[in-house]
Amino acid sequence: MKIYMTTGTHDFLQKIMDQHAGEKMILMQGEDALLLHETSGESVFESPRRYEVVDQSGELESKGYVVFNNIPVSDEGRPLFEYRFKNRAGLIEEVPGFTAIRVLRPLDNDTYVIMTLWEDERSFLGWQESKQYEKAHAKRGTEEGIDNQKDIFPRASYVSKYYVSGQS
């Protein structure tokens, strides 16, 4: 499975979505408008950001709140990074308001995306305050934590947040 993303004005992206009504697409609005296309085929976008789905749970829906954890990973660090996510405990799925997760391997750059979809922003904040979050991130900042292996991460990670604003 692949995920393609493109940005533009909300109206322009809505037109693309309308032209490809049979495709699984989600239109989001944050600091910018973003259109996501999940498919086993090729992208309908002219010059998308391209990703391969490494791990997934849940179904992407055209409603809710989306959080992208954008994590630059060195070439040497990719196997360990992917191993950790493929073998995650799956605790996020237990949290009320969770809808879906996609772990995305970049095909054109070094920045992985951990995308989570929530019923609403309050559900995401509930995850961050949950026992499941605490357990899932228990090794962070310790010698066992992947974040302590500095040769894996060439730059700081960053978060992007969106509200789903279109129907698919």
- The pLDDT, as a whole number, for residue 136 is 75
pLDDT tens-digit profile of 50-90? 999 999 999 999 999 999 999 999 999 999 999 988 888 78
Name the phi and psi angles at 93, rounded to 5.
-65, -20
- The pLDDT, as a whole number, for residue 147 is 54
Other CB atoms within a 10 A radius of the CB of residue 27 amount to: 20
- The pLDDT, as a whole number, for residue 140 is 62
Global pTM reads 0.89
The tally of CA atoms less than 13 A away on the side-chain side of residue 105 is 18
* Structure token digits, residue 1: 């499975």
* Structure token digits, residue 53: 């789905």
Q: Which CATH number does 2-164 carry?
A: 3.30.70.100
Weakly modelled stretches of the chain, pLDDT under 50: 167-168
